[in-house]
Structure 1
Amino acid sequence: MQKRQVKLLSDPRQNAVISSHYIAMPAPAMTFDTALPLYRSADLRHIESAAADQKLMQRAGRAAADWASQLCDNGGAILVLAGPGNNGGDAFDAARRLRAAFFDVELVFPGDPERLPADAAAACKHFLAEGGRIRHAISPQRHWSLIIDGLFGIGLTRDITGPYAGLIDSANALADRDGCPLLALDCPSGLDADTGVVRGAVIRASHTLSFIAAKPGLFTGDGPDCCGNCRVAALDLDAEAIAPAAGRLVGIDAFAAHLRPRRRNSHKGSYGNAGILGGAPGMTGAALLAARAALRLGSGRVYVALLDAQAPALDPCQPELMLRRPDALHDAAMSALACGPGLGTSIAAKEQLVAALRQDIPLVLDADALNLLARECDLPVAVALRQAPTLLTPHPAEAARLLERSVEAIQSDRIGAAQEIAERFNALVALKGCGTVLAHPDGQWRINANGNPGLATAGSGDVLTGIIVALLAQGWDADAALAGGVHLHGAAADRLVDEGLGPVGLTAGELIDSARYCLNDWIGRA
């Protein structure tokens, strides 16, 4: 079987307008400068309604045909799949334009043209009037240079079954068989554009052209595995002038103000003191990974308190770390504290967490600190009442415990889950996973789009905790530290993969020096 080739954007500065109506979105292994706005389906419907007097379907068809002609520049046959709604109308219009440009186009639509919405019906009639032909099934013997998915766009509310599911399965199989691009219009059919959840059968696109604005579901959950290389076709609209963006992608602009070169006239006290609290028996490695990350990401000093009474007094791999007994840590002059890596859930662990909550400094809670919050009914109130910033970094299972739900429920609405945790605990939240979701108590949210499967390894979250507390210790505000830490974490993994060190077998310890390199590189480019 011929392997499908997918061309990805790799230049970290490719975030500008590509043409009059194309905007590049981050592909895998891409760090980008500007945070693009994200809109849910309901907000996009509002924008479409406000622009109802404009020819949006024709603009979408033109944008789709433009990119399709680039993807099929060697000629050959193009298969266009049209669905029963306005996404199908976009497909009809694109197919008409491609035929006019002398491409060999086969359009498959298993529905009833008389039941199409008004704009889609007009596009269908225009396609037929110019000599186009509708087929109800894919020609079995033909080979394709490009497949266009115009079956279902945004607003999908139920699983795709029946004939359309069969078309989706066929499109995926044919794209693999022929090694051709598979271009999804607006959103891969079968993917929930709001949540990134697959609804039954789903298109596995190599390219996605998102109309008007980017959608959150393209970047979290199953979205990145379904979308491939993404672009926005703004359709000559300024979405943000019509409606404020509900959320954004994380870009360097979220923390650029902190990317300043260090003054030559400085000392270790200029860069803060980070504390790491954790390391119960059998889990000291988690705390040490976080501590090493905090040191190498710029903290002037790093204090480490390990709950394991048999723990060594020195880290031989990082002797610069200052190891303390847990009770002594809270008397140290810390600028920021991270609690949780390898902490355990013992009575002693809870006592140390309570002491950490009393510290009037920025506090990162991860791992077992979150499990204690979920288990002990008095702790959530203590967290919510803190005056200093609190940052929570749960993975989906920890989020499920915090909200007393299943992991499946968390993953079915990652943005909503992150927002609920942020509001309940009066904290900034990073819900980890594919497309980490950042949420604020005031309802703001972001999605981080970089990173790769190499991060799915033991200790990766501990390194993230260490990165975030290092930035906090150096005086970054909590919002910037959370966004910057998550983005650095992903960029570090992407850099290692670019160098051939992963994603298979990538280790958490390797992320630390790569993150240090990325941070210094960003400071140098700022």
Structure 2
Amino acid sequence: MRIVTASEMYAIDRYTIEQIGMCEQSLMENAGQAVARILFERISPSQRVAVLAGAGNNGGDGVVIARMLKSRGYTVDLWHIPPREKIRGAAQKALEIYENCGYETKSYIENEGLFFQQLESYDVIIDALLGIGVKGAIRAPYNEMINEINKLEKAVVYAIDVPSGISADGGEVETAVCADMTMTIQYPKLSAYTFPTADYYGELVVVDIGIPPRSLEHHAAFRQVWMKEDVIRTLPTRKRSAHKGTHGKGVVVGGSRNMTGAVMLAAKAALRSGAGLLTMAIPDAIYDAVASWIPETMYLPCSSKNGYFAGDINFINLDIDAIAIGPGMGRTEGTKQAVQAALREDVPVVLDADALFFWNEYVSLVKKRTSPTIVTPHPGEMARMLGTSIGAIENDRFHVSRQFAIDYGVYVVLKGPYTIVATPDGKQYINTTGNPALAKGGSGDVLAGIILAFLMQHRSIETALSNAVWVHGKAADLLVQTGHSPFDVLATDVIDAIPRVLFQLGEEKR
């Protein structure tokens, strides 16, 4: 499933009409009928329905929806908000057809009091007011209308394409419809996967209206929601002849006297995710504390200073397929030197947590690498790497992650709700698993371990990263569905849930 911006959606529509040859009216008809088919299953003919239609194509979709519902015997009031003369094009034609069928419209103009009086009597509100063309503050009468809709207690609110008041590309929200469900037309928009806008969507349903794939490929950047079906399709299958060296020889570099747990979480997650052989490179000061907890790994004790890495790490005697470095290392000169040593190895390297702190000091080394480099920042770390604010990152997650990956030739895993995987060639994969249970220390360390293991078992980097992020989130989802709450989940619980996720995927892959 692909995701588009507002400008891309407009370009897709134009191409479909002007080059493919599908008329605007037929697209509007397809949209309205497809949404109506969903509503037939969701609402009862006994319920009172209000369709609130604006002047543009979003309002035209609403008119078609109202016509389809009335043709099935539903009790529907179609309220047209703007003056009649502002309704043009396909929306005007849709209104003519509606009235030619013998159906009446209610005009908001000069009936404002009646509109607000009747609003509370409806069981269902269908928001077809503004669509994806919103720019700037919402003006009267739409702002007043939206505020009243959001006060309704009994009505179920369905938004068409995007909740009115929301920018299709995300950003801050001043006034917007809080929908119970949003039926988005053909492709989800960016704002469905960024916050705070995603909170206004409710349940998201994608409605296919028959736009040919050619229109998308010509006018939209590659952004794909990574689905369960994608994971099942790409998850490796182990051969009977496999041995411990078949599935990768990885190294986790991390830990310090004050943060022994982080590197242990990453290592255990890597083992639970299928790493064949794993070495933990840790400061020798914490060797005794760590070695007794994870007997399944080998160890590379490194010189330490005050409980932290003292400097360079010698990887010469290790047979390595991939490295993950950063969990619990601390922000010292020794960390910087250890990261530089890892980056000189000709294998995929995952830079996580404290390994990202000195980013600007080894950018030149990253750009010279021929093996993949993966960075896994949360928004705060990304802000530090770019010298900007967390707000600037969160308001533009898609552009920031894509541009960073292209500029530095790296793979970016921008963590958070709807984690984005961005590739050096500009592609993006969006994850929808996970929940607030992951908002706890140690979750990122677990993800780093899963990523390391999957890098050594998958054929492509983007597939490994997308699957790792999906499995990580799904493990948290399983926990809150089976006896845990978002409050009590620990990072170790997430690791313990990985086997269940992998088992279920394996069963469905058969």
- In the superposition, the TM-score normalised over structure 1's length comes to 0.86
Is 1:66 aligned to 2:66, yes or no?
no
What's 2:448 paired with?
A: 465
Structure 2 distance, partners of 1:167, 1:330, is 68
**Residue type matched to 2:75 in 1?**
D
Structure 2 distance, partners of 1:387, 1:141, is 62
What's 2:146 paired with?
A: 168
What's 2:488 paired with?
A: 505
Q: Give how far 1:480 is off.
A: 1.6
SS of the residue corresponding to residue 116 of structure 2 reads: coil
What's 1:184 paired with?
A: 159
Q: Give how far 1:333 is off.
A: 1.8
The alpha-carbon distance between structure 1 residues 91 and 372, as it changes in their structure 2 partners (threshold 3 A), is same
Structure 1 distance, partners of 2:168, 2:489, is 31
Q: 2:173 pairs with 179, 187, 199, which one?
A: 199
SS of the residue corresponding to residue 269 of structure 1 reads: coil
What's 1:42 paired with?
A: 7
Is 1:214 aligned to 2:188, yes or no?
yes
Q: 1:150 pairs with 120, 123, 128, which one?
A: 128
Q: 1:405 pairs with 374, 388, 395, which one?
A: 388
**Residue type matched to 2:47 in 1?**
G
What's 1:271 paired with?
A: 247
Rg (Cα) greater in structure: 2
Q: 1:353 pairs with 339, 342, 354, which one?
A: 339
What's 1:291 paired with?
A: 267
Is 1:251 aligned to 2:234, yes or no?
no
Q: Give how far 1:465 is off.
A: 0.5
**Preserved CA contact (<8 Å) 2:225 2:431:** yes
Q: Any gaps of 5 or more consecutive residues in structure 1?
A: 1-35
Q: Give how far 1:217 is off.
A: 2.5
Is 1:306 aligned to 2:269, yes or no?
no
Q: Which has the higher contact order (CA 8 A, sep 6+)?
A: 1
**Residue type matched to 1:283 in 2?**
M
Identify which range, 274-283 or 352-361, moves more after superposition.
274-283
The alpha-carbon distance between structure 1 residues 284 and 101, as it changes in their structure 2 partners (threshold 3 A), is same
**Residue type matched to 1:393 in 2?**
T
**Preserved CA contact (<8 Å) 1:436 1:449:** yes
**Preserved CA contact (<8 Å) 2:438 2:476:** yes
Identify which range, 300-309 or 124-133, moves more after superposition.
124-133
**Counterpart mapping for 1:344-493 below 5 A:** 344-374=330-360, 376=361, 379-474=362-457, 476-493=459-476
**Residue type matched to 1:172 in 2?**
N
Identify which range, 80-89 or 442-451, moves more after superposition.
80-89
Structure 2 distance, partners of 1:486, 1:157, is 33
Identify which range, 277-286 or 105-114, moves more after superposition.
105-114
The alpha-carbon distance between structure 1 residues 133 and 315, as it changes in their structure 2 partners (threshold 3 A), is same
**Preserved CA contact (<8 Å) 1:345 1:368:** yes
Structure 1 distance, partners of 2:261, 2:85, is 65
What's 1:131 paired with?
A: 104
Structure 1 distance, partners of 2:50, 2:72, is 15
Q: Give how far 1:310 is off.
A: 4.0
Structure 2 distance, partners of 1:515, 1:161, is 49
**Preserved CA contact (<8 Å) 1:71 1:181:** no
Is 1:230 aligned to 2:204, yes or no?
yes
The runs of 4+ residues in structure 1 deviating greater than 6 Å are none
Structure 1 distance, partners of 2:51, 2:136, is 23
SS of the residue corresponding to residue 296 of structure 2 reads: coil
Structure 1 distance, partners of 2:135, 2:285, is 54
**Preserved CA contact (<8 Å) 1:281 1:308:** no
**Preserved CA contact (<8 Å) 1:330 1:356:** no
Q: 1:111 pairs with 68, 71, 82, which one?
A: 82
SS of the residue corresponding to residue 448 of structure 2 reads: helix
What's 2:92 paired with?
A: 121
**Preserved CA contact (<8 Å) 1:260 1:523:** no
SS of the residue corresponding to residue 253 of structure 2 reads: strand
Structure 2 distance, partners of 1:208, 1:439, is 26
Q: Any gaps of 5 or more consecutive residues in structure 2?
A: 18-22, 303-312
SS of the residue corresponding to residue 133 of structure 2 reads: coil
The C-alpha deviation readout for 1:229-270, integer Å capped at 9, x for no partner, is 222222232244553452211135655565343233333222
Q: Give how far 1:435 is off.
A: 1.1
**Residue type matched to 2:237 in 1?**
P
Q: Give how far 1:413 is off.
A: 1.4
The alpha-carbon distance between structure 1 residues 346 and 469, as it changes in their structure 2 partners (threshold 3 A), is same
Q: 2:48 pairs with 77, 83, 86, which one?
A: 77
Structure 1 distance, partners of 2:280, 2:381, is 24
For the aligned residues, what is the CA RMSD?
A: 2.3
Identify which range, 274-283 or 63-72, moves more after superposition.
63-72
SS of the residue corresponding to residue 443 of structure 1 reads: coil
Alignment length (residue pairs): 484
Structure 1 distance, partners of 2:61, 2:373, is 46
